[in-house]
Amino acid sequence: MTTLSSAETLPTEASTGSVQEILKETVEKSSPMENESHEAFEQRKEKQREIIDVMPGDLIERIEEDIRIDGEFKARRKEPKPTLEDKKHIATGEIFESLASTEYKLREQREPSELSLQILKIYKNPPEALTQAVGHLRNPDLIDIREDTSTHKMVITGLAEVKMATLDVRTYEQQVDFRESLENVIETVKEMAKVNLDLEGFEELLENSDKLEIAAELHTVFVLPAERDIANPRSLVNEHDFKINDSMSLYYELVDGIIPEQCTLQNSVFTAADIRNFQKALSPLLGF
């Protein structure tokens, strides 16, 4: 028999409303976090509704696209097709990414530039010409680009990562390797621009590739579920993953060096249970 935590609810019958309406209906059925006051819970729900109202309207399409890309990746590696659990995992990740990214943009009070969106697109589904430059890294969820008014250069200052799971060895690798990957991508795009090679869908990037620079220090913002204790970074890191990979020195480098020196930790207003409930509520629209 499947049991649910106190914060999780059973999905209702398929709703005929929009994605936003379904999510807001689910918010009304949610439960407070442990030791959360009624007032704080109501304030958090109000913020959730505000975010849902302005989130991108193509969530279902984005989930379907992520599943398609995952299937193509597995096919190239001659791996089995995505399972039902794989699809649910992808959907849950995309839901949290979409909501938390919207929340982050509202907090920062600015929209990402077309240039940053095109770089993100390369990491999400790289065109063949840039696959090698991107390497093995998972895409960040947001890339921060600021214009240096004195030089008119477009400076990549950092990235934001929406993390529902704990930070692990892969997180460490991304922090360490992202600069090199980004340098390779920019250099490849610059070479393509020099010889007027076309890269459909990346016109802004081609046009401005000579203006792109990477800041001396890249800063990362990790956006985590509401219940995570961001005052205790060690509680956010999967120590076991480092142990089984014989990488405890990297664990200490991450928790004692990289996180305090190069990262900002932020709590989303959404809990992990909220996101799982959203996935269940949207399952009739997704078909699984």
Query: Using 50, 70 and 90 to split pLDDT, how confident is the model at 65?
Result: very high
Round to whole Å and give the CA distance between 288 and 284. Answer: 7
Start-end of H helices in 113-199 = 114-124, 131-134, 169-194
- pLDDT at position 136: 65
How many Cβ atoms are within 10 Å of 257's Cβ, its own excluded? Answer: 10
Structure tokens at 119: 């770089």
Sheet-wide strand order for 263-267: 142-148, 153-162, 212-224, 263-267
Task: Check whether 151 has a pLDDT greater than 70.
Answer: yes
Round to whole Å and give the CA distance between 236 and 220. Answer: 15
Assess contact for 43 and 25: CB atoms under 8 A.
Answer: no
Residue among 126, 55, 122 at smallest CA distance from 95? 55
Task: Check whether 64 has a pLDDT greater than 70.
Answer: yes
- pLDDT at position 196: 74
- pLDDT at position 77: 86
- CA 283 to chain centroid: 21
Ranges of beta strands (E only) in the chain are 142-148, 153-162, 212-224, 263-267
Q: What is the dihedral of CA 110, 112, 193, 219, to 10 degrees?
A: 90
- pLDDT at position 54: 95
Percentage of the chain exceeding pLDDT 70? 93
- Domains of the chain: which residue ranges? 19-286
Q: Is 124 exposed, middle or buried (0-12, 13-18, 19+ CB in 10 A)?
A: middle
Please give the average per-residue pLDDT across 123-149, as a whole number. 80
- pLDDT at position 3: 37
Q: What is the dihedral of CA 205, 209, 211, 217, to 10 degrees?
A: 90
Dump pLDDT digits (tens) for 192-226. 888 777 778 888 888 898 999 999 999 999 999 99
Whole-model pTM: value is 0.85
Start-end of H helices in 58-160 = 59-76, 84-108, 114-124, 131-134
Please give the average per-residue pLDDT across 15-31, as a whole number. 90
Percentage of the chain exceeding pLDDT 90? 65
- pLDDT at position 135: 67
Strands 263-267 and 142-148: unpaired
Give the mean pLDDT of the chain. Answer: 89
Structure tokens at 85: 């659990």
Dump pLDDT digits (tens) for 39-54. 999 999 999 999 999 9
- Residue written as token pair 């992990």: 272
